[in-house]
Chains A and B, each alone.
Chain A
Amino acid sequence: MRRQPPKRITGLMPAGLLAGMTLVAGSHGLLASGGARRCTSEPPARSVAEELERYEASHASMGAKFTVAAYGRDPKFLAETIEVVFEEIDAIDEQMSNYKSQSELSQINREATSRAVQVEPSLFRLIQKSLQYSEDTGGAFDITVGPLMKAWGFFRGEGRVPSAEELHTVLARVGYQHIKLDPLGRTIEFDVPGVELDLGGIAKGYAVDRAVGILRENGITAALVSSGMSSIYALGAPPNEEGWKIVVRDPFDSAVAADVVYLKNFSMSTSGNYNKFFKLGGRTYSHIMDPHTGMPVENMLATTVFAANATDSDALSKLYVLGTEGSRQYLAAHPDIQALFYLPAGSEKKFKRVLLRSASYNLPPDALVKIIQ
């Protein structure tokens, strides 16, 4: 089979590669010696940073605004690559949305109680991964909380407090243990009726990773991908910067900075109670559920987790549910994670922050997570 040539060449080659080719050509005598000398002895007229252009585009998908910014020589090539990224994200949404009845996920939800449903490989792997996160976090992360979200009115709803009986009924079909996977047949089955998968806590991070993969495949070395602020991957760094500057918002005020982070070849995700909640009878109910109790988690404002990829950081931002004490156990067993907890500090509008780190913490040399309060 003939290999297809790469679709896009323009702008693909980084400066270093071009320089290398010139030298090779020179060694074969194709270049005049003067030309070769000029290439090696004189500094380039313009620095690499000056030649790079910045391209940024946004796209609504998965109920969020995805934004990609990238640096490169050819903005047209960047635009085309980012368009491929957005197509990929849309395809993930078409497959994994629980808001779309035609998605593969919705079909699984309809049919996996009555039969073992065969699953597309990438979705199967993501579900496998999800179950692993559930086990590792003692069920803090759980892709079966969908019915709970509905009971509390957070799915296309206004918010309501379910009765104790209702919660009891709903909890009977919540819990990752109800998902039975067969890796050989690549099938999924639920062991009780009414189980529903909801990948809302991981799919955006997963989409960010797929986006970064496409950017990398196309030779892009400096880019940032953000899924509506919640999951961000920083690929490389902007020209002449040590990392991408990211401001973590104050839990009480979206326009105020709580922390500033410089991020490079690393990911961060945030779960917070401030964008989806309702107030009733003087109490505020957030949309983040404790899958064990069926109740919204209290005493936590937001949790930002730093991990090597966005699938990890998105899922692990549910350390929110475990709180600082509960998270220590996880961090003792899993390397290279940092978690920044924003906790209520008694009075209104005040918070305290707690930064926890894996017991084993050795980032790769090309990664950077610098947190400045």
Chain B
Amino acid sequence: MEEQGELTRRDFLKTAATATAFVALPHVSGPQAGAPSPNSTVNYGIIGTGTEGCTLLRALARIPAAQCVATCDIYSPNQMKGIQTAGSKPQLYEDYRRLLDRKDIDAVLIATPLNLHTAMLLDALSVGKHVFVEKTMFFKEEEEKPIRAVAAAHSKQVLQVGLQRRSDALYQCAMDMVLAGAVGRVMFVRAQWHRNNDWRRPVPDRKYERLINWRMYREYSGGLMAELASHQIDVANWAIGAEPISVVGTGGIDYWKDGRETCDNAQAIFEYPGGQKMMWSSVLCNAHYDFNEQIMGDRGTIEITLGKGLFYTEHVAKVSEGAPKESWWAGATVSELAKQQGFPIYRATGNKTLPANDAWYEELTNFIASVRDGKPVACGLEQGIADARAVIYGNRAIDTGQKVFWPKTTS
């Protein structure tokens, strides 16, 4: 078994090994891809066509301006799935660098295990591709610097991070409300992502365990913090308008003792510069509270998740100077429900409610429009870095049992 695991690992990482070495080498800027002209089609290639990659492909297949010309994966069932999902007869690659060699590719999407993001991101930017990288943007603290450097050297290219709540109309509406003061002063964000399953994918052959269930292994993955909390930390960063300054956390492999290395029961509290806190929990043995974020201010609460947002007001006191014209109403008791029902959040123009589209469709529509028409990205470098840092420090707090402070030198 040990041997099998090692073999698999070598297989799996052979592309990554070269790429990781590349990080240390001085970068040679590749040719800048000219921005496609408006109304033209954006040719893209996708690296990683597992579950998330195929989710991206399905959304992209509904965007006429996007054309999938290449896919890349090293696992054959995923290779087949990717080609079928793209529906455009893309060329299949096993080595992502061959995909990057293609001059006709404008944009590259990266949906691989977390430990591979940075190498692929740097390579793709360096050869002039526009890049969409799945969250969490990067895996290790030291990867931030080269990413900043390469992104700065290729600032004309689009770099978007796949934190799709940033592109979701409901979340945007909720954040407009937060900005407008609907919940007052935001002091606390509570978020949970609870499931009642082992968070594994089925493995047809044990030799593929680490490849398929990479999320279970610390060599490739930041576990629940990187895969689930990253979305919710981003929501907190967005609502509070800052990134955290410190984090405490705890976690363990407490329920699914199946050889995994990442926590199945994890909690963390992030602190922000204004004293705001974000409390997160993820458990894999109870799904009652499912997943959402609760943004709490002194005037109200927004409880939100993909597809559903509710706004609750606080019974807020009114203070006014002097004597306004008093006018009170009397009548038979107006019943008040003990628990507020919450007002649904939706975007509207005039009397018309605007339907919210699938968040993946929106983020990729945004990405393609950024590539083709120069539209600003919904979630870019800084948001991605702030999010990745919080994931990295959050996991460090859990691992060490110590409070972790953000480095003073960072912005």
Contacts and interface: CB of A to CB of B under 8 A. Distances in A.
Interface in B323-344: 323-338, 340
B335 to A, nearest CB: 5
A11 interface: no
B339 to A, nearest CB: 8
A54 B324 contact: yes
A241 interface: yes
A232 B335 contact: no
A213 to B, nearest CB: 20
Contacts of A247: 327-330
B317 interface: yes
A275 interface: yes
A54 B323 CA distance: 7
Given A241-B326, A247-B328, A229 B334 contact: yes
A244 B328 contact: yes
Nearest to A247: B329
A249 B326 contact: no
Instruction: From B318, B325, B329, B333, name the one whose CB has the most chain A CB atoms within 10 angstroms.
Output: B333
Nearest to B322: A50
A75 interface: yes
Given A228-B333, A229-B334, A238-B323, A82 B328 contact: no
B331 A248 contact: yes
Contacts of A182: none
Interface in A43-84: 49-50, 52-60, 63-65, 69, 71, 75, 79, 82
A49 B325 CA distance: 13
B319 interface: yes
B135 to A, nearest CB: 40
A92 B154 CA distance: 68
Interface string B297-339: 0000000000000000001111111111111111111111110
A229 B331 contact: yes
Interface residues of B, number: 25
A221 B250 CA distance: 52
Interface string A233-257: 0000011110011111100001000
Secondary structure call for the B interface: loop
Nearest to A50: B322
A69 to B, nearest CB: 8
Contacts of B328: 224, 226, 232, 244-247
A265 interface: no
A227 interface: yes
Interface stretch (A34-42, A106-114, A266-274): A266-274
A274 B332 CA distance: 8
A247 B331 CA distance: 9
Secondary structure call for the A interface: strand
A173 interface: no
Contact of A60 (B315, B316, B321, B327): B315
A49 B336 contact: no
Contacts of B334: 64-65, 228-230, 275
A261 interface: yes
A302 interface: yes
B319 A75 contact: yes
Given A53-B320, A75-B319, A245-B326, A63 B331 contact: no
Nearest to A317: B332
Nearest to A269: B330
Interface size class, chain A? 35 or more
Contacts of A229: 329-334
Nearest to A320: B332
B323 A240 contact: yes
Instruction: From B321, B324, B328, B337, name the one whose CB has the most chain A CB atoms within 10 angstroms.
Output: B328
Given A238-B326, A247-B327, A249-B329, A275 B320 contact: no
A241 B331 contact: no
A304 interface: yes
A52 B330 contact: no
A232 B330 contact: yes
B368 to A, nearest CB: 48
Contacts of A50: 322
Contacts of A63: 333, 335-336, 338
Contacts of B329: 229, 246-249, 254
Contact of A54 (B316, B322, B335, B338): B322
Contacts of A244: 326, 328
B331 A230 contact: yes
Contact of A71 (B316, B323, B327, B332): B323
B233 to A, nearest CB: 33
B317 to A, nearest CB: 4
Contacts of B319: 53-56, 75
Nearest to B334: A228
A249 B336 contact: no
Contacts of B326: 69, 224, 238, 241, 244-245
Interface string A199-234: 000001000000000000000000010111110100
A239 B327 contact: no
Nearest to B319: A75
A238 B335 CA distance: 27
Nearest to A250: B331
Contacts of B325: 245
Nearest to B337: A60
Nearest to B317: A57
B315 A49 contact: no
A164 B344 CA distance: 44
A250 B316 CA distance: 28
A67 B208 CA distance: 64
Contacts of A273: 332
A54 B320 contact: yes
A335 to B, nearest CB: 23
Contact of A248 (B318, B330, B336, B337): B330
Contacts of A228: 333-336
Contact of A249 (B316, B322, B330): B330
Contacts of B337: 60
Interface of B: 315-338, 340
Pairs A-B, 9 closest by C-beta atoms: A272-B332, A57-B317, A230-B333, A249-B331, A65-B336, A239-B323, A56-B318, A58-B315, A246-B328
Given A57-B315, A247-B329, A275-B334, 17 more contacts: A52-B323, A53-B321, A54-B319, A55-B317, A56-B319, A60-B338, A65-B334, A69-B326, A82-B317, A226-B328, A229-B333, A230-B331, A241-B323, A247-B328, A268-B330, A273-B332, A274-B332
29 contacts: A49-B322, A49-B323, A50-B322, A56-B319, A57-B318, A59-B315, A63-B335, A65-B315, A65-B334, A69-B326, A71-B323, A75-B319, A79-B317, A204-B333, A224-B328, A226-B330, A229-B333, A229-B334, A230-B330, A232-B328, A232-B330, A241-B326, A244-B326, A244-B328, A246-B328, A254-B331, A273-B332, A274-B331, A275-B332
